[in-house]
Amino acid sequence: MLGPAVLYILLLVGVPFLLALYYSVSDITMGGRTLGFVGLRHFAAVVGTPKFQTALKNTFVFAISAQVAVMVLATVLALALSRDFRGKWVVRLLILLPWVAPVSLGAIGWLWILDSTYSVLNWVLEALGLVPPYGGFMWLGVPHLAMGSIVVVHVWRILPLATVILLAGLSSIPQDIHDAAQVDGAGFWRHLFQITLPLVRPIMLVAGLFGLVLAFTDMIVVFVLTRGGPYDTTQVLASLAFFTGVQAGDLAEGAAIAVFLFPLLVAVAVVFLRVARRTEVT
């Protein structure tokens, strides 16, 4: 029964990865007719460029800041949704909407919200008197605002998935444990930090790993909102690989940048798992 599923995963993930690995050690270009072997030349050339180093730094800033925000907000939402209240299923549906909506459609909507000229957000701030008329922020034109904007949009996109995962973890805690804590007189904060969070820590690990992988490999938000600008301050490795390999036509160099993400993700996952193991409740 597992055969077709394994074959599907190998074809979906393995073939593109092997093709990218092959391209990264060749001299292939867009429209080129040669496919010679050049070894690790592209990796050595790419790693030393300021553009790559900036993209690498931006990738860590983007991924870590976004994932920290996602985990904090997802924990709060999951705790709130685990309680019984009127309209709970409506709230759950609304929270899931950003995840089920097409990514490009959501990013285009945010592009309209953050547009320098027709920004809905600036219009609201002006209507509330928080900024002077025609004195709104250039959300995507100033480096620190642009990075903050793509982080917010990514958090908006990934938050539903993390919330659902954590909500499933909270639902798996036996009610007897909660009842025993209540009988012992545990308050909200003691119950949260000594019982609830330690028990859902493995689920939080899963949500964190999923979120980091998605953050490190996401390029749609950057592509739609900033295209890496201004001045490469929001350029991440995934978007740099696309712009280099597809738009600039250097498939080999773009593949080298993309392949570099693989050992990076493995290293991040190993560190993440070791930290989680050290803090595991016994």
Per-residue model confidence (pLDDT) at position 261: 86
What pTM did the predictor assign?
Answer: 0.86
For residue 24, give the CATH number of its domain.
1.10.3720.10
**Distance in angstroms (rounded) separating the CA atoms of residues 12 and 21:** 15
Per-residue model confidence (pLDDT) at position 67: 92
Q: Which residues of the chain have pLDDT under 50?
A: none
Both tokens of 9, joined, read 């995963």
Among positive and negative, which fits the CA dihedral 125, 126, 129, 132? Answer: positive
- Residue 37 pairs with which residues in a beta bridge? 26
**Distance in angstroms (rounded) separating the CA atoms of residues 146 and 230:** 8
Range of 229's domain?
2-278
Helices (H), the chain: 2-9, 15-24, 41-47, 50-81, 88-100, 103-113, 120-127, 143-171, 175-183, 188-191, 197-217, 220-225, 237-242, 251-278
Per-residue model confidence (pLDDT) at position 71: 92
Q: Read off the pLDDT of residues 51-93 as tens digits, 9 standing for 90 and up.
A: 999 999 999 999 999 999 999 999 998 888 888 778 777 887 8
Q: How many CA atoms lie within 13 A of 205 on its CB side?
A: 18
Chain mean position to CA 104? 15
Per-residue model confidence (pLDDT) at position 66: 93
Per-residue model confidence (pLDDT) at position 280: 60
Task: Quote the radius of gyration of the chain (alpha carbons, Å).
Answer: 22
Question: How much of the chain exceeds pLDDT 90, in percent?
Answer: 16
Question: What is the total count of domains within the chain?
Answer: 1
Per-residue model confidence (pLDDT) at position 254: 87
